[in-house]
């Protein structure tokens, strides 16, 4: 689990609202992470702290692997 700070909300020229999250890497060293505001829980505001958890997605991995294998097979048949 990683904790991030919602520093600010920006709007792109296209009108999309982005949350600017700060992830502390070390003393005075931060990574800015821009994500669509809609990805965050409703009611999230500037100044809020959030917990982010990354988890493996074996289903997505298997699906992508199948797509790559199918494309590879198709390419090899065309030679």
pLDDT, tens digit, for every residue of 53-74?
999 999 999 999 999 999 999 8
**pLDDT (0 to 100) of residue 76:** 86
What is d(CA 27, CA 32) in angstroms, rounded to the nearest whole number?
15
CA dihedral 35, 37, 41, 46 (to 10 degrees): 100
Please provide residue 78's backbone torsions phi and psi, each rounded to the nearest 5 degrees: -75, -10
| Between 75 and 59, residue with greater pLDDT | 59
The number of C-alpha atoms within 13 Å of 48 and in the hemisphere containing its C-beta is 14
DSSP class of 38: G
Mean pLDDT of 32-41: 96
Could you tell me which residue, 13 or 77, shows the higher pLDDT? 13
Q: pTM to 2 decimals?
A: 0.75
Tell me how crowded residue 11 is: count the other CB atoms within 10 A of its CB: 10
Q: Look at residue 75 in the predicted model and tell me its pLDDT.
A: 87
Q: Mean pLDDT for the chain?
A: 94
Q: Which sequence spans correspond to the domains of the chain? A: 2-77
């Amino acid at each position: 689990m990683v904790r991030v700070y919602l520093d600010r909300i920006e709007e792109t020229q296209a009108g999309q609202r982005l949350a600017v999250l700060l992830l502390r890497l070390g003393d005075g060293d931060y990574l800015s992470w821009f994500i669509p505001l809609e990805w965050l829980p409703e009611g999230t505001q500037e100044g809020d702290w959030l917990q982010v958890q990354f988890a493996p997605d074996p289903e997505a991995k298997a699906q992508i692997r199948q797509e790559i294998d199918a494309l590879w097979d198709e390419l090899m048949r065309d030679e």
